[in-house]
């Protein structure tokens, strides 16, 4: 079976669902970087997606093989921080890393008014 194409955040969602979150859809969405509010309200829609279901089936078909090399959120945040501080990266890449880091820390609130 060929690995289905899926956005990295959705892959992380599935890996967490099958791994450390032990089938909890809401916790899997939070661990994948979605806000707790969004995860509680919309995680069922993420898991209803055909591509997500195909990726779940793909990983389960690997007969218990452990998915290795998946970074935890803290590791990703550390990497984004290193990109931001490294002047050898393009300015656009450093700005994008700062945006993603800020989002992962909850800096952009939808209810700001």
> For residue 106, what pLDDT is reported?
79
What's this model's pTM, rounded to 2 decimal places?
Answer: 0.55
pLDDT value of position 54 = 92
Q: Which residues, other chains included, contact 61 with Cβ-Cβ below 8 Å and sequence gap of 6+?
A: 1
Q: How far apart, in whole angstroms, are the C-alpha atoms of residue 47 and residue 105?
A: 24
Distance CA 111, CA 113 (A): 6
Q: Can you tell me which residue has the tokens 């590791």?
A: 75
pLDDT of residue 113: 52
Over 70: is that where the pLDDT of 68 sits? no
User: What gap in Å lies between CA 14 and CA 67, rounded to an integer?
Assistant: 11
Q: How confident is residue 69, by pLDDT bands cut at 50, 70 and 90?
A: low
């Amino acid at each position: 079976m060929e690995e289905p194409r899926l956005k990295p955040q959705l892959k992380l969602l599935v890996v967490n669902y099958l791994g450390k979150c032990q089938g909890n859809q809401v916790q899997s969405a939070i661990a994948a970087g979605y806000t707790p509010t969004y995860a509680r309200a919309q995680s069922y829609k993420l898991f209803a997606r055909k591509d997500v279901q195909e990726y779940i089936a793909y990983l389960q078909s690997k007969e218990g093989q452990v998915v290795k090399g998946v970074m935890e959120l803290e590791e990703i945040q550390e990497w984004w921080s290193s990109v931001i501080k490294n002047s050898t990266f393009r300015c656009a890449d450093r700005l994008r890393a700062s945006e993603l880091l800020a989002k992962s820390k909850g800096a952009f609130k939808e209810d700001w008014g």
